[in-house]
Homo-oligomer: A and B are copies of this chain.
Amino acid sequence: MELWFTEKQTEHFGITARIKQTLHTEQTEFQKLDMIETVEFGNMLVLDGMVMTTKKDEFVYHEMVAHVPLFTHPNPENVLVVGGGDGGVIREILKHPSVKKATLVEIDGKVIEYSKKYLPEIAGELDNPRVEVIVGDGFMHIAQAENEYDVIMVDSTEPVGPAVNLFTKGFYAGIAKALKEDGLFVAQTDNPWFKADLIRSVQRDVKEIFPIVKLYTANIPTYPSGMWTFTLGSKKYDPLKVEDSRFHEIDTKYYTKELHKAAFVLPRFVEELTK
């Protein structure tokens, strides 16, 4: 018998992956959580039927969320991750020696628990002493913070279920308040093929709050369309004006200092979404 997991990425299109076994399945307080072992991508975390991360391709997302803003800021010391319970963004953040503290606020403790168990290569740094893990509501955490963080990364699910608040203008205003006066943030903002309206509306909202707003992309094979976008909002530092001397050597499989800038060069139809 062959078992295949299919994610309908849109109503009419999806990906399908052969699986060896289901490692864990559970309806948590917030969402349906499945951990499956696929043949092609290794262990895969699925939330509400959507692929969140896989052993084989996780490095792209985690490197590109973390290193673009961290190299844009000249001296990031205090960093916040909203979501990201698998720990991949935290692992990448810790590669920056300037970072004294990384705080993770994940709403669903089960994501942390099962990522540690089945995705140890990703979650392995969650117990690092430079990391504080908070199981709680990222939206509320942001609302209560003021002038605190150098960099904030929003590593959320799609804007359905628990993450719906994380795509609102009120949330971006909260981020601005939670950041220091020269802070910046990045949020995953889905793909331009099936979610053009989302990208457009986030761009519009963030531009009303941050003076510097840019979109960049990365190729993630298990995400819809294979092209993922990230929206960066910054109070002071421009990701395209980072001087070469600022980049230190870093162990990556996707990110390079050349790609840091090239990732912001958009296909024409994507560029149109930012106007």
Which residues 193-222 in A have Cβ within 8 Å of B in the complex?
Answer: 193, 217-221
* Cross-interface CB contact of A10 among B40, B57, B262, cutoff 8 Å: B40
Pairwise interchain contact B16-A38, C-beta atoms closer than 8 A: no
Instruction: Confirm or deny: A258 has a beta carbon within 8 angstroms of a beta carbon on chain B.
Output: yes
Interface residue? A274 (CB, 8 A): no
Q: C-beta contact mask, A118-154 vs B, less than 8 Å → 1, else 0?
A: 0000000000000000000000000000000000000
Report B-chain residues with C-beta under 8 Å of the C-beta of A16: 6, 13-16
Task: Decide yes or no whether A52 CB sits under 8 A from chain B.
Answer: no
* Residue ID in chain B nearest A265 by CB atoms: B262
Residue of B nearest to A225 (CB): B221
Q: Is A259's CB under 8 angstroms from B254's CB?
A: no
Q: What is the CA–CA distance of A269 and B58 in the complex, to the nearest angstrom?
A: 13
Asked whether A17 is an interface residue with its Cβ less than 8 Å from the other chain, the reply is yes
Whether A256 touches B268, Cβ cut-off 8 Å, given contacts A18-B12, A41-B13, is yes
Contact across chains for B259 and A266 when beta carbons are under 8 A apart = yes
Residues of chain A at interface, number, CB under 8 A: 41
Residues of B near A12 (CB, < 8 A) are 17-18, 38-40
Most buried by B among A12, A41, A254: A12
Interchain CA distance A221-B15 in the complex, whole Å: 11
Contacts A254-B268, A256-B267; A14 near B13 (Cβ below 8 A): no
Q: What sequence of 0s and 1s flags, for each residue 1-32 of chain A, a beta carbon within 8 Å of any chain B beta carbon?
A: 00000100011111111100000000000000
Is A161 positioned at the interface, with any CB of B under 8 Å from its CB? no
Asked if A253 and B267 make an inter-chain contact with CB atoms under 8 angstroms apart, the answer reads yes
A258 to B240, CA, bound (A): 14
Cβ of A255 under 8 Å from chain B: yes
How many angstroms from the CA of A60 to the CA of B268 in the assembled complex?
10
Partner of A226, one of B221, B256, B266: B221
Residue ranges of A at the interface with B (Cβ–Cβ < 8 Å): 6, 10-18, 38-41, 57, 60, 193, 217-221, 224-227, 252-256, 258-259, 261-262, 265-269, 271
